[in-house]
Structure 1
Amino acid sequence: MSGSQLLRALGRSLGLGRSQLKVDSRHVVLITGCDSGLGHSLAVYCHDSLQMTVVSCCHNLKSEGARLLQALNPSKDGPNRMYTLELDLLEPDSIRLVHGQLRKILAQDPGYQLNALVNNAGVMCFGEFEWQLPEQIETQINCNLLGTMRLTRELLPLLRQQQGRIINVTSHCGLQALPALGPYAASKAALRFWSDSLRVELQQYDMEVVNFIPGSFVMDSNIAARQQQHAQKMHEAFTQEQHALYDTYFEAFNSYLKVLTGFKPPNRLRNEALLAKFRDALTSSQPLALYIEEPWRYRLYRWLFAICPTPLVDWLTLRFCAMPTYESTKQATGDLVDS
């Protein structure tokens, strides 16, 4: 790192010399995972509030979220500022196709500038590590981490040429792993540290890399919409010994999670604090390396996790999750039998 880069980094950390870059329709942002939840809301926010040109990548162009984004295109001959592309992070050919489509979009107007890549797409599967099938574990790692890396690597020369920034949406699970989310937490923690490494590498090319940690939107997104299907596959793969040990607990665990099942309509975030932080990550002349948006409960637990000894952290983690456990289910069943 050169002396000027060091001073710039120090100024950023101290909040000195930071200003907001003016963005408009000439500034292009590519966002992944726009079918629903956070990605859909960020795409709408960039289009409607920031007046940017948005390349929204959806897993399924027939999804309700994709259709709603496509409907933002002008009905007449006005300028198009919302491009909706299909992207499967597990398929290298899909990533290459999106790269080619992005280049064609940028070529339409010499004034276009690729302002940012927002890596938001991800998948999640609840279940203890012993329950989760190899394909469920590998899909989370492959999509959340390796798929994000593949897309970033594919677009990196274009981003470097236009000095665009990279915003990686990680998770509180990347800061503190939670039970029943081990593979997901592993993918997000790896993404977090990869972001740190990439940030240092790309500083010498005057590029920014941001780690963006939003609050929990699992109730408002479709990241866990297939939880009951995942659970059924886990249960069918149990051995006789696992059925005898886990069945009562497994049923209670997944009954608790039924509220997550089913595809929810796309939502638009009303969290103004989160959108303000995202705007700063996207448009600040010197963005912070890390943005965290969280309710007071998350902040309190995160502080306690940092200062408490491991046994107390483990106890607090269970309290934080507030989900059925083997012990609680066993006790409840025993109490029922005794009564």
Structure 2
Amino acid sequence: MSSSHLLRALRRTLGLGRSQLPVDGRNVILITGCDSGLGHCLAVYCHNVLSMTVVSCCHNLKSDGARLLQQLSSQGDERRRMHTLELDLLQPCSIRLVHDRLQDILAEDTSYQLTALVNNAGVMCFGEFEWQVPEQIEMQINCNLLGTMRLTRQLLPLLRQQRGRIINVTSHCGLQALPALAPYAASKAALRFWTDSLRIELQQYGLEVVNFIPGSFVLDSNIAARQQQHAQRMREGFSAEQHAHYDVYFEQFNGYLKIVSGYKAPNQLKDEALLAKFQDALTSTQPSALYIHEPWRYRVYRWLFWLCPTPLVDWLTLRFCAMPTYETSEQKIG
């Protein structure tokens, strides 16, 4: 690390010289996963509150969330500030099309600056590792990790040229793995360490890379909307032995998860404190490497996880999840 990089790191650690960069319609931000939940919330916030030009990437342009964002682009602004694009992170051709459209948007006005890429899109599937079929496991790794890497690699020349920053939305599962979310946790932990490596690599080019952990909002998002369909696919993949061993527990487990299943309105997430942290990650001249937004219960458990020995951490993790667990016949009788 050069002396200038070391000085910069010390100033960041000590909080010296921190200020907020002004943003307006000339600042372009690209956000993925905008169909619902956090991505949709951030797209609306950056457009309505920060007055930025937003490239909101949705998996399905016919989704309710995409339609709401498209309506924002036709509100009679002097220049269009909401561009809603379709993006499938599993398809390299879709990523290339988004890159080309972003270049076209930036070319429309020489004052435009690509301010940030927000990698928010992700998929999640609840189920013990033995239950999940290969395509479910691969889908989570491919979308959450490899898809994010593909998009970032495609956009890095533009980001480097314009000194844009990268904000990667990871998860508490990247800090402490939870049962029934093994592939998801693996993808988010990998994303966390990739983010750290990328931050060190890109700081020499003047690019900021931020890890943003927004806390649990599964009830306000559609990330688990297809959980019951996922469960049915797992059930179909069981062998006769697995049916005999798991069926009762499997039904209890997925019955409990019905609360997170099913479609939710795209703009349910309302959290001013979370948005304030996101704004700091986006506009601070000295952003933190890691932003964590969490309820007090998460903070207490996270402290205990760090402090306690592994057997106690495992027990606390089960308490934290508060989900059904497998019981043998002897345990049920007892």
SS of match in other structure, 1:78: coil
SS of match in other structure, 2:79: coil
- Displacement of 1:269: 3.1
Q: Which residue number corresponds to residue 45 of structure 2?
A: 45
Q: Which residue number corresponds to residue 175 of structure 2?
A: 175
Question: Percent identity between the aligned chains?
Answer: 78
Q: Which residue number corresponds to residue 123 of structure 1?
A: 123
1:109 to 1:332, Cα distance in 2 relative to 1, 3 A:
farther
| Paired letter, 1:17 | G
Distance across 1 between alignment mates of 2:197 and 2:191: 10
In structure 1, runs of 5+ residues without a counterpart are none
Whether 1:79 and 2:79 are equivalent positions in the alignment is: yes
Distance across 1 between alignment mates of 2:23 and 2:17: 18
CA contact (8 A) 1:253 1:323 kept: yes
Q: Which residue number corresponds to residue 309 of structure 2?
A: 309
Distance across 2 between alignment mates of 1:299 and 1:15: 22
Q: Which residue number corresponds to residue 96 of structure 2?
A: 96
Give per-residue Cα distances to partners, 1:216-252, cap 9 Å, x unaligned. Answer: 0111101011100010010111111101100000000
Task: Tell me which stretches of 4 or more aligned residues in structure 1 moved more than 4 Å.
Answer: 329-333
1:330 to 1:110, Cα distance in 2 relative to 1, 3 A:
farther
Number of positions where the alignment pairs a residue of Structure 1 with one of Structure 2: 334
CA contact (8 A) 1:213 1:293 kept: yes
Whether 1:140 and 2:140 are equivalent positions in the alignment is: yes
CA contact (8 A) 2:221 2:269 kept: no
Distance across 2 between alignment mates of 1:331 and 1:128: 22
Distance across 1 between alignment mates of 2:270 and 2:68: 18
CA contact (8 A) 2:220 2:268 kept: no
Q: Which residue number corresponds to residue 229 of structure 1?
A: 229
Distance across 2 between alignment mates of 1:202 and 1:120: 20
Q: Which residue number corresponds to residue 160 of structure 2?
A: 160
Whether 1:10 and 2:31 are equivalent positions in the alignment is: no
CA contact (8 A) 1:226 1:262 kept: yes
Greater mean deviation of Cα atoms: 230-239 or 266-275: 266-275
1:19 to 1:75, Cα distance in 2 relative to 1, 3 A:
closer
TM-score computed with the length of structure 1 as normaliser: 0.96
CA contact (8 A) 1:249 1:330 kept: no
1:110 to 1:265, Cα distance in 2 relative to 1, 3 A:
same
Tell me the C-alpha RMSD between the 2 structures. Answer: 1.2
Distance across 2 between alignment mates of 1:205 and 1:140: 31
Q: Which residue number corresponds to residue 318 of structure 1?
A: 318
| Paired letter, 2:298 | Y
In structure 2, runs of 5+ residues without a counterpart are none
Distance across 1 between alignment mates of 2:177 and 2:332: 28
CA contact (8 A) 1:212 1:291 kept: yes
| Paired letter, 2:175 | L
Q: Which residue number corresponds to residue 64 of structure 1?
A: 64
1:77 to 1:196, Cα distance in 2 relative to 1, 3 A:
closer
1:16 to 1:217, Cα distance in 2 relative to 1, 3 A:
same
